[in-house]
Chains A and B, each alone.
Chain A
């Protein structure tokens, strides 16, 4: 005989409480702000979806969103292939393995604002190592505080330096888990290095790469600290990414309503793209 009662709910309760306090309640306050207008003193006026409409129609938001997608696209297209190439060229055993792994992990251990500050000083035209070398030794004009293109090159390079290691380490973990027998089988089949990569290594890397791309997408799409410290969104608005713009609206102009609406749109885009990507990548395995 089967016992039926409602005890199961009791066991789910801790998770529900945890999720409620770290996600639902904060998000609901944002939702609260996004549909109301306030002039202080805790007085609110119902505003409906006006803020959402205003944000979506604004050139400023569209431009920031465009820059955001461009940034994420650039770092993914560089970091993923570069990470795989580095992982493939790392030794599989011996003395150099720990050396490589630690060297690779180092950039990821540096606090994000320190990374921004490092690259800021590194690229200063008159005293920075790279800035001085470019301007005074090689004679190539390079000033990211004046030139938008130089600013973009710098933030993309900085992100590649900071985060390619993540792709490397995940790919490396995937590669070392391939038994030697598969490489031997491929050799015996007469496969070239490219075929070995295409038919043995890449399929094995699919799972870790899905995770790596997902993490890099979310992190780069939500990036704030490093470009804020490095360029502050400038010169002009050329490197004002979504989160930098959001902070300007929320804390600079104190437009809480539009800022809340923008946060939700921002969140929805991140969630949607991540979900789409993950669903597409895991569709094959589910069959």
Chain B
């Protein structure tokens, strides 16, 4: 099954929320919509679900033009960020609701509901009302409804955002296998790059209502087409600084310089932007690293990782390193940037090396 967007746009009262978007989403793997809050993930989902009117362009499902089809007739499922279940119905009735509306036979409904409840471990709670469940169970109930329906597309709009850390990890691990082999196009919106990487499949990077890049998740992570894509797909945010290349030497405005290797050495001389992911800026020296002294502003210790925000001249940098490193806020510390892992962008933001 496929969902195809052909120059689809969304315009509300003269303001463009989604610029012309052409995209083909397929079944068999997760399709992640990755973008920050307000980048248009929910707008795009609502457009595909038919909850918002299409401004221009077309949306096709399995080759059929559904642009003018109402939501009711599109045969889709949607799981929200906050838990949406019918409060006065039991868990069983909630999962059964789309099947009942479709007029399915009672025995078949019971079968499908119980199957979905088993997968999501909701069997003992079938007779309870949603408000008697924990947050994780409520969201599993919403997921069970989407699974039992066996629709041709499932939209998951940041479904784990309102769950606590442990539950989020647990459910995220289960998600790919929940939908594996069901034949539905699964679209998963998230603002966390880490989630996109863990879920794999394909990723569409969204920024300001524009899909800036679409492809295999790992490929996009390795080769962001432009600086915006690199920024969206990095958490903490990717470090970037302006450099001037002359010969094979790159020089930042603060005077730090290094020798460019590989394909980047072939670039014509001139101004560029260098971008390095935070975990390639560490307090540990190695081959091909360049040292930079910065004033530590903020430090965070998260389990086995230490992060530090520091300032070099006027530029803000972030370092993320394995292990526990003692930083003193306000004091100077030496960090090492791995230049072999650096991306080089042209001044207009295109990836050049």
Contact = CB atoms under 8 A, between A and B. Distances in A.
Q: Real complex partners, A and B?
A: yes
B101 A187 contact: no
A190 interface: yes
Interface string A181-198: 110110111111001000
Nearest to B78: A188
Nearest to B73: A190
Contacts of A191: 72, 97, 101
Contacts of B51: 184, 187-188
Q: Is the interface of A mostly helix, strand, loop or mixed?
A: helix
Contacts of B84: 179, 181-182, 184-185
B98 A190 contact: yes
Interface in B49-84: 49-51, 70-73, 75-78, 80, 82, 84
Interface in A172-217: 179, 181-182, 184-185, 187-192, 195, 199-200, 203
A82 to B, nearest CB: 24
Interface centre among A184, A185, A188, A203 (most CB of B within 10 A): A188
B86 interface: yes
Given A181-B84, A182-B84, A203-B87, A189 B97 contact: yes
A199 B72 contact: no
Contacts, number: 53
A50 B101 CA distance: 61
Nearest to B82: A181
Contacts of A195: 101
Contacts of A182: 84, 86
A185 B88 CA distance: 14
Contacts of B80: 181, 184-185
A182 B82 CA distance: 11
B102 interface: yes
Contacts of B101: 189-192, 195
Nearest to A202: B88
Interface of A: 179, 181-182, 184-185, 187-192, 195, 199-200, 203
13 contacts: A182-B86, A184-B71, A185-B78, A185-B80, A187-B51, A188-B49, A189-B101, A189-B149, A190-B73, A190-B98, A191-B101, A199-B86, A199-B97
